[in-house]
Amino acid sequence: MGGLFGNLVFLNPWALTALAGLPALYFLLRVMPPAPRLLRFPAIRFLQGLEPQSKTPSHTPWWILLLRLLMATLLLLALAHPVINPKNSPITQVQPLRLVIDNGWASAQNWDALMDAAQARIAQAGRQQQTVTLLTTAPESTPQKRISGAAPMGAGEALSLLKALKPVPWENDLAALAHFLEADKHNRAFKGETLWLSDGLEKPGAEKLAQILASAGPLALLKPQDQDLPPLLKAGTAAGQTLSVRVESAGNLPSATIQLLNERQQVIDERLADFHAQGKSAEILFTDLPESLQNHAAGYRIAGVKGAQALYLMDMAGGRKNVGILAAQDAGQTRMLAEDSFYLQKALEPYASLTTGTLDEILAHKPALIILPDIGAMPGEHLNALDEWVRGGGLLLRFAGPNMTREHQSVSLTPVPLRAAARTLEGSLSWDKPLHLSPFQNNSPLYGLSIPDDIVVREQILPKTPDAPGLEIWAQMEDGTPLITAAPLGAGMLVMVHTSASPAWSTLALSGLYVEILKRILKLSGQGLKEQILHNGMAQPGKILDGFGALHPPGAEVQPIDAADFDAVIPRPEHPPGLYGKGGLQKALNLGDHLDAPVRLRSLDAVSDSGNLSGVQEKDLLPALLSAALLLFLLDTLVVILLSFNGRLPTRLRRAAHFVLLIGLLSALPAQAQDAVTYAGGLHLAYIKTGNAALDAQNQKGLETLAAVLGERTSAEPLGVAAVDPEHDELSFFPLLYWALSPEQTKPSAAAVQNLQSYLNHGGTILIDTRNGDPGDSTGSPLLRKALAGLDIPPLAPLPEGHVLGRSFYLLDNFPGRHNGAIWVEQQSLNGRDGVSSVIIGGNDWAGAWASINPATHKIRRYNVQNGREAEISLRAGINFILYALTGNYKADQVHVPYILERLGK
């Protein structure tokens, strides 16, 4: 059998014969009567003794029949023990197993599949009591670490060793392994079967290794499929001019995506390499990228490909260049906008790390570029130091300026000898007009920069010999006089701008061109220096690639490379690919540059059994079949149970269903949390749910009216009205709780009492309304006592004259609702709440009064409140309650106002 199931084999095929018994089972199931339906029936007495004529027309529903037949079939199939892609039949003669694993760079791409195959084989070896020897083909960084040569070991040990194995970022050395095995050939323990997990690429020595392994016993080879062979990156042929890289593929990969990376390995851009169109080797150019992006380019990567060969690093990657600006001698003066160095700093700050100061300070930072703005004569030792630095590869950029002409001394270290005096193009004694720049010649490094029209040069210093040999003119004026000249000196270069770095002599320093010119020059800098550094001394490892192509700090075993023969170094354990160098100057050692074009491994004669790494796993179907049968059995049981209940669930199951429903309801709890968010968002008036629907509706309506009036007249603008249940709800959001008592008021539960007490203790106020006009005497009415049972409420007193409650917004003497009775508050002297009462108890049915008021007109709709004046006063009472709860004793001072006024009157 092929196709979907691969090779399906039954290990116990005789069990399949039992399938013939299925029709018998079918009839058996048909004959078996189903469980009787149970029915409660009062007239059972009349059924006794009634015997039906026929007994068998009852039959199992067809779907139960199908279910059971399927279950039996699955069980029988499971007994037959089917296995997909079975491995070779168990070996009768147990031989040691030798596992050869290619762990060079090319394995990284298929490492997971390779590991799976190795683990599966070791597990199998464990079952067959085979000893295992692990051999790896790539050289290890230290000879001791090499697994090859490890003694035969048990499967468990081999597995743990295997798990520690990682691909390495260098080439396999098959010849060395062959050599090692050759030496061992005459050992008695040499015999054994071998599984070679290859990376699938042709390597020198493969044939020989295969032969030696085959001489020990049967040799099986597993390799990745062709499309899984890894592509690699090499230096592009156009690497000098533009960003380019070459990608080479061994397999029949249709295409690959090449990414351009910055210093942090982030993708800047990506291009598609189409191997169909371009062959197995394709050159990828990253042209037409903005220059700012190009400047950040630090490497290339093949997207989705693992391995050190898939990452190509560029030289000089990492870090910004150091630029030194030599400050003028009198730089201490703070004429910032007239200072040359100020303009240079502003222009270069985004692109380089700047050092401004004396020459010694600058040189200590090992700059790639040194700028001398308007510096004339220098001490001899400075000249010598600079000269040496330039000859060593440095780029010296000089700007002209008044200092160069001030004294009649020769200015050295310029590309060309200069005239002593500046040429003034605009002045009281000059006929000339300020000059513009002429376009850059195409041999100039500045070629391509656009020149704004408004740049004019008013003064310049002209060279004595404009046609001196070796002098490059990078920019010139429209009259042909040079503006920027350059000349090589040793490994370095001298560049001279013949006008000032500040706007003193030209408007160049005020234009964008100034920045662009500096950037171009900055880009040129450091080339010679790099060569110089990297050809002298040792390049230290900076960042090192691991086998999967990730950058890491180097380990102790990584050694520096002698810069002189850097290009000849082939990546190997001591020198893994990565960045080598010093400071910001780094050279890349790329694996791909040292690899031949990858070629698919040809078939080896010595290999007796070869296959693909992936998709050859043995799959035992027994557990899956058994689980399926068990599942069907459970389903059948459930169906039987349900049928026996005849659709009516017994009480317990119904309770369970209720419980499930309850869980579902509980999951709606976040809605309550949502309420909390709403309530916390602003002022809400709240009343305590009484459980009496009519009373609750009245409270809701009354408070809504009050809220509307509050918003209209005061700065307290309630967002809404909340009905709270003190047993469950969080109360802390509400400044005042309105609690209307109904005659059926019961004693609140312990949880409610606790919650209310905590609310009172933390500054809440409860307005209790007995709604009968009379809250009772100092002991309270029985209703009140029942409602407040368990609450710790301080001694109360009738509202004293001049209490803040009567002043908190309106001046009120009484607080009528539908009734006009007494109000009780805490005795002020007793509480610790700054004189604010925690409870206000009355019986005036305020909510009833408010509810009967039309909030739009403040007119009474019903007979409850006799006239408009009383409606108004009841609303005022409500406003005072709310503001009392909100402002506390803030208005207490007003209590004394009459006396103050009286005194003033006198």
Residues found near another protein in the complex (CB under 8 A): 33-48, 50-55, 57-58
Residues in the chain: 906
For the record, the structure tokens of 737 come out as 């709780």
CA-CA distances (angstroms) from residue 449 to 439, 441, 485? 8, 10, 16
**CA dist., res. 676 & res. 670, Å (int):** 10
Q: Residue 50 or 337: which CB sits closer to another protein?
A: 50
Spatial CA neighbour of 554 closest among 581, 585, 593: 581
Cβ neighbours for 211, distance < 8 A, ≥ 6 positions apart: 606
| Smallest separation (angstroms) from another protein to the CB of 70 | 24
Of 43 and 556, nearer to another protein (C-beta) is 43
175, 205 Cβ separation under 8 angstroms: yes
570 or 640, CB closer to another protein?
640
Q: In terms of CB distance, is 45 or 906 closer to another protein?
A: 45
Q: Least distance in Å: CB of 690 to another protein? A: 22
Report the nearest approach of another protein to the CB of residue 56 (Å): 8
Which one, 43 or 336, has the nearer CB to another protein? 43
Complex with another protein: residue 31 or 624, whichever CB lies closer: 31
The rounded distance, in Å, linking the Cα atoms of 109 and 113 is 9
Q: How far is the CB of 47 from another protein (least distance, A)?
A: 5
For the chain, how far is it from start to end, CA to CA, in angstroms?
Answer: 119
Q: How far is CA 363 from CA 77, 370, 457, 582, in A?
A: 83, 9, 32, 16
* Helix 693-713 × helix 868-887 angle, to 10°: 80
Q: Which amino acid is at 1?
A: M
Q: CB 709 → another protein: shortest distance, Å?
A: 40
Give least dist CB 656 to another protein, A.
Answer: 21
Report, in Å, the least distance between residue 633 CB and another protein. Answer: 23
Q: How far is the CB of 743 from another protein (least distance, A)?
A: 20
Query: In terms of Cα–Cα distance, which of 75, 81, 71, 74 is closest to 13?
Result: 81
β-pairing, 299-302 with 322-326? Answer: unpaired
- Using the minimum distance from each CB to another protein, give the nearer residue, 19 or 38: 38
DSSP state of 349: T
User: What is the smallest separation between the CB atom of 41 and another protein, expressed in angstroms?
Assistant: 4
Nearer to another protein, 46 or 62 (CB): 46
The two tokens of residue 899 are 């006396």
Of 36 and 555, nearer to another protein (C-beta) is 36
Q: Which two tokens stand for residue 309?
A: 């060969």
Q: CB of 72: closest distance to another protein in angstroms?
A: 24
Give CA torsion, residues 886, 890, 894, 896, to 10 deg.
Answer: 140
Nearest of 785, 877, 794 to residue 836 by alpha carbon: 794
8 A C-beta contact, residue 145 and residue 111: no
Q: Could you tell me where the DSSP H helices lie in 368-511?
A: 380-391, 402-406
Q: Which of 368, 341, 364 is nearest to 352 (CA)?
A: 368
Q: How far is the CB of 46 from another protein (least distance, A)?
A: 4
Which lies closer to another protein via its Cβ, residue 33 or residue 682?
A: 33
Whole-number Å distance between alpha carbons of 499 and 515: 15
Q: How far is the CB of 646 from another protein (least distance, A)?
A: 9
Could you give the 3-state DSSP secondary structure of residue 70?
A: helix
Amino acid symbol at 176: A
68/819 with CB nearer another protein: 68
Are the beta carbons of 239 and 249 closer than 8 angstroms?
A: no
Give 333 or 651: the residue with its C-beta nearer to another protein: 651
Query: Residue 842 and residue 823: Cα distance in Å, rounded?
Result: 5
